[in-house]
Amino acid sequence: MSGVQGGAPAGGESGRPLRIETHGIDVIGDADRKGRPRQLFFPWFGANVSILGLGYGSFALGFGISFWQALPAGLVGIVFSFLLCGLIAVAGKRGSAPTMVLSRAAFGVRGNRLPSAISWLLTVGWETVLTALATMATATVFGRLGWGGGTATKVVALIVVAVLIVGGGVIGFDLIMRMQAVITVLTGALTIVYILLVAHRIDWHTVSAIHGGSAQEVIGALVFMVTGFGLGWVNAAADYSRYLPRDSSSRGVVGWTTFGASLAPAVLLIFGLLLAGSSADLGKAIAADPIGALTTILPTWFLIPFAAVAVLGLVGGAVLDIYSSGLALLAAGLRVPRYAAALADGVLMMLGTVYVVFVSGNFLGQFTGFLTTLGVPVAAWCGIMLADVARRRRDYDETDLYRPAGRYGDVPPLPPLVLLAATAVGWGLVTNTAAGWLKWQGYLLKPLGLGGRSGAWAFANLGVLAALVIGFAAMWALNRSTVRAQESRRSPSPEAPETEVAQA
């Protein structure tokens, strides 16, 4: 595994002394671009092999559908959403810059601050979710062992988990990739052991007897899978491929990203469906504490290894999120060193975790609300970005990505308008009654004849798919001439952009 792994420089090898990474949102030089697309398998697999994947089986069945409905909905949602990541990852090898910097080609240098801010919110939200899950899982294990699982245990667990995540985010990829190498092996091996230990609890008769749901409920489960898996990574997809040489195979980038990210979640989803479908009580417990509930069916001797693999798997995902959230914050216009941005995100992550663990009593409701609400504008951005990547025939101009007066412009009006319009439509087609602060959503369901906020289509969350389609279709139809004009423009002289780059 070379320096392309997770966007790490080649210097991230085990023999190199650790030091804080100085790279921010700058372009990676030719000397540091190396590796092959197949190496993208490892960071994507490592970021998505988590016990949390088992919990999605319960989440899917919670839509009121059968195993045979949840299985294709889940698998299609996983593969399709990570295919979106693979397609956007192509931009990384074309431009060798972070995802939310490459997004400037579509939105303009300063116009891109809006989607960068949305990206930052999403990644900070995911950091909070993963940290909260790790904290609650630790408390559950300690409670079962009789070592106390109350407030004191949760506080200590939160501090330990936060130190690992924030430490990795602040120091950067050199440390993150060393952590990921260990986390990937331990998580993969112990997850297999977990499956073997609890496989006897699967009752196929009970699973097969689950009644089927409506088409709308199946669509709702599919959209939930899309937002819970790949759509949560699209805004960081090119962060992992930007160290590849420019002549790397685009098909290879798409294929290895999609395969590496989808493999573990697909396997875990299938087993999670069988496990949750065998016990209604377990399914309800998973909704309240996804990781902790999975410990209740384990023998005591495996609790500590399980806690370790569960927490490390969640930390592995969160540490990559905090790195990308720091990059998104810089792309949004904050002028601080990368490590300072990561540290600031870490503070917000801890505050959010305190709320989820010690204040909120409904994890699944808040989690679903978070995914669907931010999933809509992220889906709109993803559609716009996909159309922009598909239109381009040449590599990005590295200098103009940082020049408001360059070929990509400062604040072109079309992309932000499309983003806002697609988001407005999307929010009008989603609902989440479990989170009171989101009751204003779904305002288009009744006018469009879809039954209103309590009708058959209320929980299908069509807004996520609508935002994706609107974003892509609008930009594909309206932005062709703009892209052609950008690619035909001559590059600026080396001396010209220095002051403009500094101001951007």
Provide the pLDDT for residue 69: 97
What number of helices (H) and strands (E) belong to the chain?
A: 20, 0
Q: Which stretch of DSSP H or E encloses residue 161? A: helix 151-171
DSSP label of 390 = H
Q: Which residues does 303 contact at the CB level (< 8 Å), separation at least 6?
A: 141, 144, 145, 295
**Rounded to an integer, what distance in angstroms lies between the CA atom of residue 84 and that of residue 17?**
36
State how far the Cα of 243 lies from the Cα of 32, in Å rounded to an integer. 7
pLDDT of residue 464: 92
Cα 134 to Cα 130: distance, rounded to the nearest angstrom = 6
Taking every pair of Cα atoms in the chain, the longest distance, rounded to a whole number of angstroms, is: 73
pLDDT at 491: 65
pLDDT at 3: 33
Please report, as a single letter, which amino acid is at residue 134. Answer: A
Domain ranges of the chain: 36-503
pLDDT of residue 499: 34
- This prediction has a pTM of 0.85
Which two tokens mark 351?
């505050």
CB 213 within 8 A of CB 66: yes
Does residue 258 sit in helix, strand or coil? helix
Angle formed by the axes of helices 303-331 and 338-358, nearest 10°: 130
Q: Are the beta carbons of 43 and 237 closer than 8 angstroms?
A: no
Note the CATH architecture for domain 36-503.
Orthogonal Bundle (1.10)
Long-range contacts of residues 486-495, Cβ cutoff 8 Å, at least 24 apart: 486/105, 486/407, 486/408, 487/392, 487/393, 487/394, 489/407, 491/397, 491/399, 491/400, 492/399, 492/400, 492/403, 492/406
Q: How far apart are CA 429 and CA 407, in angstroms?
A: 36
Asked if residues 248 and 392 have their Cβ atoms less than 8 Å apart, the reply is no
* Confidence (pLDDT) at 6: 34
Per-residue pLDDT of the chain (504 residues; tens, 9 = 90+): 333 333 333 334 445 556 666 556 767 777 777 778 888 887 788 778 877 888 899 889 989 999 999 999 999 999 999 999 999 999 998 888 889 999 999 999 999 999 999 988 888 888 888 888 888 888 888 888 887 778 888 888 888 888 888 877 666 656 666 676 777 777 778 888 888 998 999 999 999 999 999 999 999 999 989 988 999 899 989 887 887 888 889 999 999 999 999 998 999 999 999 999 998 888 888 877 777 788 888 888 888 888 887 787 788 778 778 878 888 888 888 787 777 888 888 888 888 888 888 877 666 566 667 777 888 999 999 999 999 999 998 889 888 999 998 999 999 999 999 999 999 999 999 987 766 777 889 999 999 999 888 888 988 889 999 999 999 999 999 999 999 999 888 765 444 343 334 334
- Going by C-alpha positions, the residue among 221, 194, 235 that lies closest to residue 88 is 235
**Under 8 Å between Cβ of 56 and 269:** yes
